[in-house]
Structure 1
Amino acid sequence: MEKYIDLHIHSKYSDDGEFTPIQLVEQCYKAGIKIMSIADHNSVKAIDEAKEAAAKLNIKYIPGIEIDCTYNGINLHILGYGIDYSHDDFVILEKNILKQELECSKEKVKLTNMLGFDVDQVALDALSDNGVYTGEMFGEVLLNDQRYNENTLLKPYRSGGERGDNPYVNFYWDFYAQGKLCYTEIVYPTLKEVIDLIKGHGGIVVLAHPGNNLKGKFKIFDEMVELGVEGVEAFSNYHSPETVEYFYQVGKKHQILITCGSDYHGKTKPAIELGECHCTIDEHDIESQLKEYKLI
């Protein structure tokens, strides 16, 4: 199926993104993508740059953001599309989370070293533009540190290893995600607060990659719709065919917006290609929905 729409892309304004907004627009153009959205983590900085570049290449651009939040103890990612991104509320959100991430980064260094490493601080700082250290960065530094070439804990993440397809983000998921050994807690807004924020600024609320966040708890999504979630990223690179079909049918049942997104980051997720959304329907049907929701 052609690559036509990708509504979940990350730029360098996400701590784990590789490319500038303009580079991403150019990549979308080369890939044949006609409708795109950069949805950075808790940040709207990419939007103006990307909108201007997309307009020059005749690409329809939807302003977006991906906000971390919690619901019943589960960490979630909520996509906000079509938002009035010029409002100070989004600046306040980013500053609040950045402040916490800077503190957590110091703790991550200690926790990582407790695994038996001596993290190369210079190499870590070279990867970070703002002092925030992500789990992906720790993975990149350790996997490229010759002192640990034979380290057994890192073996699964090397070429040919069982976690070697997306080594950096897999290292994050295995050690720094919620409930893992190097997890550091950030106080994110609640799902209800994020719904109110996005809707309060004219946006549409969509749950990102639900199969990835709601592992084994898919029924919870029905509660989220009652709370105010207006869409679901049924077509996601992370979803199995069964998960795609489940959330596609759930989306149709609730008569909500059904979207597709690759969650493209670049080097932290090298196995993910731009426009790779596991979409099983004609993407022009998604385009029609986007028009109904006045997003394009």
Structure 2
Amino acid sequence: MMTKSYIDLHMHSMYSDDGEYTPTQLVDMCHEAGVKIMAIADHNWVKANEEAKKHADELGMTYIPAIEIDCTYKGVNLHVLGYGIDNQEVFNQLGEDIEKQEIACSMKKLELTNALGFDLKKEQLDTLSTNGVYTGEMFGEALLNDSRYEAHELLKPYRQGGERSDNPYVNFYWDYYAQGKPCYTEIHFPTLEETIQLIHQHGGVALLAHPGNNLKGQFELFDEMVALGLDGVECFSSYHTTETNEYFYNKAKELNVLYTCGSDFHGKTKPSIHLGENGCLNPQEIEDCLKAHHLI
């Protein structure tokens, strides 16, 4: 278990397809977990921010409006966090465009999944989806809870005691539905440059989320991104090893950019990830950094 921080700037509400809780519930959960400075960064939506900020204010907590935008750079799919943004509808328009593409790709995902040796039905996924989007996490959940596949070899790593059992649903996503994997379906995302510009136009700062995960070892790309206008990096993440945390912390100091910490909490899709647990050992330093960039 990671050391707890009183700052957690990356979590997801029910407005993310793979999130579970309402914004109000997340604020209450952060309060109970000792998190004092928080941000809900839903995938391509800003629907949670107004409700969450209102309740955080009532509890005497600090809330930073946020979003996590899917984008691409040099053929690599990335997640970029926007902090301090306004609540303009342009962000939700982006979410609607991506959601339409994801709905269109969902049946293709089902076809590719069944090609792995399953006979999953659309109706099984409809019980997990509220909007017609079938995520990789949903496929993992449906298959792992299907009695027909209790002994299926492909699913063994995700069952209790298996090497991918810590977060079985999201690990199934990373292994089969992420970029370059067998069930990947391509979505047209904005470019990194367009994403940075959009965030800046709406009063925010743009940071690369969990780079140890997204950059796939191409850490040198981060320097290029900063040259393009990226404002910082989520150097402390539940996804990172201690070495990766240290690399991006030192890189942020070297380049004099903003650095933050986030658990990337989702709820049931990532059961081993807890609010406030992100590898940050000195939250006061993060708080000072946020103040220096006028985010709090």
What range describes the TM-score normalised by the shorter chain of this pair?
over 0.9
Inter-partner Cα distance in structure 1 for 2:277 and 2:287: 16
Partner residue, 2:189: 188
Query: Within 5 Å, which residues of 2 pair with 1:27-38?
Result: 27-38=29-40
Q: By how many angstroms is 1:214 displaced?
A: 1.0
Inter-partner Cα distance in structure 1 for 2:250 and 2:292: 19
Q: Deviations over 1:61-94 (max 9, x none)?
A: 0000000000000000000000012x23112211
Return structure 1 stretches of 4+ with deviation > 6 angstroms: none
Inter-partner Cα distance in structure 1 for 2:58 and 2:14: 21
Aligned residues: 294
Q: By how many angstroms is 1:3 displaced?
A: 2.5
Query: Contact between 2:23 and 2:48, CA under 8 Å: does it hold in 1?
Result: yes
Partner residue, 1:47: 49
Query: Within 5 Å, which residues of 2 pair with 1:173-212?
Result: 173-212=174-213
Query: Within 5 Å, which residues of 2 pair with 1:206-225?
Result: 206-225=207-226
Inter-partner Cα distance in structure 2 for 1:77 and 1:289: 21
Q: By how many angstroms is 1:154 displaced?
A: 0.6
State whether structure 2 residue 38 is matched by structure 1 residue 23: no
Q: Deviations over 1:209-240 (max 9, x none)?
A: 01111122101100000000001100011111
Query: Contact between 1:44 and 1:90, CA under 8 Å: does it hold in 2?
Result: yes
SS of 1:127 mapped into structure 2: coil
- State the one-letter code of the partner of 2:287: E
Partner residue, 2:284: 284
Partner residue, 2:11: 9
- State the one-letter code of the partner of 2:275: L
Query: Contact between 1:63 and 1:82, CA under 8 Å: does it hold in 2?
Result: yes
Query: Contact between 1:81 and 1:205, CA under 8 Å: does it hold in 2?
Result: yes
Q: Deviations over 1:106-160 (max 9, x none)?
A: 1111111111111132231111111100000000000000011111111110000
Inter-partner Cα distance in structure 2 for 1:6 and 1:269: 16
- State the one-letter code of the partner of 1:35: I
Inter-partner Cα distance in structure 2 for 1:2 and 1:50: 21
Query: Within 5 Å, which residues of 2 pair with 1:1-296?
Result: 1-85=3-87, 87-280=88-281, 282-296=282-296
Inter-partner Cα distance in structure 2 for 1:215 and 1:171: 17
Q: By how many angstroms is 1:295 displaced?
A: 0.9
Inter-partner Cα distance in structure 1 for 2:167 and 2:118: 21
- State the one-letter code of the partner of 1:52: K
- State the one-letter code of the partner of 2:238: N
Query: Contact between 2:9 and 2:39, CA under 8 Å: does it hold in 1?
Result: yes
Query: Contact between 2:47 and 2:92, CA under 8 Å: does it hold in 1?
Result: no
Inter-partner Cα distance in structure 1 for 2:178 and 2:30: 30
Query: Contact between 1:169 and 1:269, CA under 8 Å: does it hold in 2?
Result: yes
TM-score by length of 1: 0.98
SS of 1:233 mapped into structure 2: strand
Query: Contact between 2:262 and 2:278, CA under 8 Å: does it hold in 1?
Result: yes
Inter-partner Cα distance in structure 2 for 1:269 and 1:45: 22
Inter-partner Cα distance in structure 1 for 2:121 and 2:218: 39
Query: Contact between 1:3 and 1:31, CA under 8 Å: does it hold in 2?
Result: no
TM-score by length of 2: 0.98
SS of 1:93 mapped into structure 2: helix
- State the one-letter code of the partner of 2:295: L
